[in-house]
Structure 1
Amino acid sequence: MMDGSDLSSENNRKGIISQAWTRLSQVYQGTLDQWTPHMKSRWVGSAVLLAIFMLRIFTKQGWYIVTYALGIYHLNLFIAFLTPKIDPAMDFDVFWPILVMYFITLLCITMKRQIKHMLKYRYLPFTHSKPKYKTVDSTVTVN
């Protein structure tokens, strides 16, 4: 038979974790509530953190993927900010040329370095104008 103490200790552990998570959420929300009125300080702090991050990127010559993902995340937040709050069940038309330009822009930004590398080392991914080598016949007979 199962001992009742195992079940109660598991419930107690879940209760402690739940209470800790709730308390952490309350402290976090309290901190956010305290900083909400200080709009200029938040903008200055954000600008300083962004400048430090950009300085690190330029000095260390790295973190490009993280920066790219962060940029897309901020673009997504900006688009969500501009999007009106309407019923999501209603289907509304998307202006497709903006999506096409967005895709082309992201593609150009992403592929810029790869294309420069391909041009530098004369790597052509297509068969157009590649040199063609003649094969040597290995069945040469000697008299």
Structure 2
Amino acid sequence: MEGIGGDGASVASPLPQWGHDAWRMYQYYLDKTTPHTAYRWIGTLVVAALYCLRVYYVQGFYIVSYGLGIYLLNLLIGFLSPLVDPEIEASDGPLLPTKGSDEFKPFIRRLPEFKFWYSMTKAFCIAFVMTFFSLFDVPVFWPILLCYWIVLFVLTMRRQIAHMIKYKYIPFNIGKQKYTGKKASASSSGSRGD
């Protein structure tokens, strides 16, 4: 391998090049997963199930699980929130329609689906690795953490749902919208001589 000079006098270390090649390979395969949404989420569910089984088997790492739960809740709020929050920012850009007469503007997420999936999967992987180090197994009374997280989830989602209702947006696209034309009246369809 030749160095930057090209004369062979200075030889570059293969470690940075290897790291760069590994990162490019990782990014290549990550990019290839982009259109396969269902398979990506199935993979994430498998990783989440492995994490849950690990925590159940070890009977510990409740602080790690609590931190993971708070992080996932934060990601979910970003996923459900619009890019431009009409409550906070009054901008000249596209806003969500607030009246029926307003022009339709598509819902743009603050956290896109791919980044939501990627961050969630990374979080489960990091938490899974943390379960192999006893340093992170802090003894706590886990039912209190679970109750606190449930209360936090309910209050946060109630606020988010109220925001959705107030600004009339739905953060999910369920298929392509189909519009039907005018329906023919019963009297006009019965008079045809087919």
TM-score, with length taken from structure 1: 0.46
Between structures 1 and 2, the one with greater helix share: 1
TM-score, with length taken from structure 2: 0.35
